[in-house]
Amino acid sequence: MSRISFIGLGNMGLPMAINLAKAGHDVCGFDLSAEAKAGFSAHGRVGESVAACVVGAEFVITMLPAGRHVEAVLTDVLAAVGAARPLLIDSSTIDVETARKVAARAAEAGLEMLDAPVSGGVGGATAGSLTFMVGGPEAAFARGEPLLRVMGKTIVHTGPAGAGQAAKICNNMILGISMLAVSEAFVLADRLGLDRQKLFDVSSTSSGQCWSLTSYCPAPGPVPNSPANRGWQPGFAAALMSKDLTLAQAAAEASGAPTPLGAHAARLYAQMLEDGAGDRDFSYAYPWLGGKWRGDPA
C-alpha cells in the first residue's frame, strides 16, 4: 500500500484515482473544483489544498488540463514536500518543452519526475486499461511502473524526460491525420454513390486499413460501437484532438520537423471547433467535411 496524492480529479483523473484507491492504496485527492472533490470523497481522502494532500505522500500524480497548470501545481508541491522525496508522475498531455522544464525543476529540488501521458480516454481510465507513454530516468520508471500498472494495461518507457509527451503527440498526429483521410474517403464514396459498407469491406481488408477505419469508423454503420453510431458523441472530443495537434505543431516548429499534413490537420480541427463541433467526437470530421464542401446539413 502506498500513500498517493492525486491532483486533478476531472474526467480522466477521477476514475484513475478511484482505481488506485480500489487497489488498496491510500489516496488523497485534490482538485480546484468542489464537484470533482465530491466525486472522489466516497473513495478516499480529499485534501483542502495541494500542500495538504502532498505532505507524507510517496507518489504525487497530476492529471491537469495543460502545461501551465502542471507548472503551478509543481510550485505548490515543491514548497510542501519538505525533506520528503515523493516520485512525481504527470499524466496530463502537455507540451514537450514544459515537460522537460518541470522535470528539470523537480530534479534541481532532488525529486524524480516522470511524464506519463495516456491514451485510451475516459473508457480506458475507468477500465484501468490505459496506455502510458513514459519519459524519465530508468530508476524513476521502475519506481512508478507498479502504480501505472494499476491504471493501465500497456506501459512503455519511451526515453528520458519529455519522451512520453513526444510519443503521445506523434501518435495523435497519426490519428488526427488518418481520421481525416478516412473521413474524406467516405465523403467521396458518398458522392460517387458507393455504399459505405462496401468501401469498409474493401478498405478494412486492403491497403487503406488503419485504426481510424477498422476500430473507429467515422461513418455510421460498419463499426457498430464507433461514436458515429451514437451521434458522434465522444469518445475523444474534437477539442482534445485539436489541442494535441496544436502541441504537435509547437514541437514541430521548435524542432524544425517538417509536418505539412499535421499542420493542415491542425487547421481543419481548429475550424471544426470554430464551427461549434468541439464537444463532438473527433470522428465528426466525416459529417463536418461532407457538409462543409457541399453545403449539406451535417
Size of the residue set binding ligand NAD (CB under 6 A)? 26
Q: Given the rule CB under 6 A, which of 63-71, 202-210, 219-227, 280-288 is the region that contacts ligand NAD?
A: 63-71
**One of 22, 153, 168, 243 is an active-site residue; which one?**
168
In the complex, what is the shortest distance from the CB of residue 120 to ligand NAD, in angstroms, rounded to a whole number? 7
Of the CA atoms within 13 Å of residue 164, those in its CB half-sphere come to 30
Of 70 and 187, which has the nearer Cβ to ligand NAD? 70
Give the x-and-dash track for 2-31 against ligand NAD (CB under 6 A): -----xxxxxxx----------------xx
Nearer residue to ligand NAD within complex by CB, 112 or 115: 115
Q: Which residues contact 123 (CB under 8 A, 6 or more apart)?
A: none
Q: Which residues contact 146 (CB under 8 A, 6 or more apart)?
A: none
Whether residue 126 contacts residue 158, with contact meaning beta carbons closer than 8 Å, is answered with no
**One of 236, 269, 282, 288 touching ligand NAD (CB under 6 A):** 236
Measured between alpha carbons, how far is 14 from 125 in angstroms, rounded to an integer?
Answer: 9
Among 23, 32, 55, 261, binds ligand NAD (CB under 6 A): 32
List 17, 89, 102, 118, residue binding ligand NAD (CB under 6 A):
118
Instruction: Quote the cell numbers at residue 107.
Output: 530534479
Choose, by CB under 6 A, the member of 240, 245, 248, 289 that binds ligand NAD. 240
- CA gap 286, 135 in Å, rounded: 34
Under the binding rule (CB under 6 A), the answer on residue 229 touching ligand NAD is no
CB closer to ligand NAD, 12 vs 223: 12
Say how far apart CA 241 and CA 222 lie, in whole Å.
Answer: 23
Minimal distance, residue 116 CB to ligand NAD, in Å = 11
Whether residue 164 contacts residue 264, with contact meaning beta carbons closer than 8 Å, is answered with: no
Cell digits of residue 55: 505532505
What are the helix (H) ranges across the chain?
13-22, 34-40, 50-54, 67-80, 96-108, 121-127, 138-151, 163-192, 196-203, 211-214, 238-255, 260-274, 285-294
- Tell me which residues in 92-111 interact with ligand NAD (CB under 6 A): 92-93
Is residue 168 part of the annotated active site? The answer reads yes
Residue numbers at the binding site for ligand NAD (CB under 6 A): 7-13, 30-33, 36, 63-65, 69, 72-73, 92-93, 118, 121-122, 236, 240, 243
Q: Which residues are catalytic?
A: 168
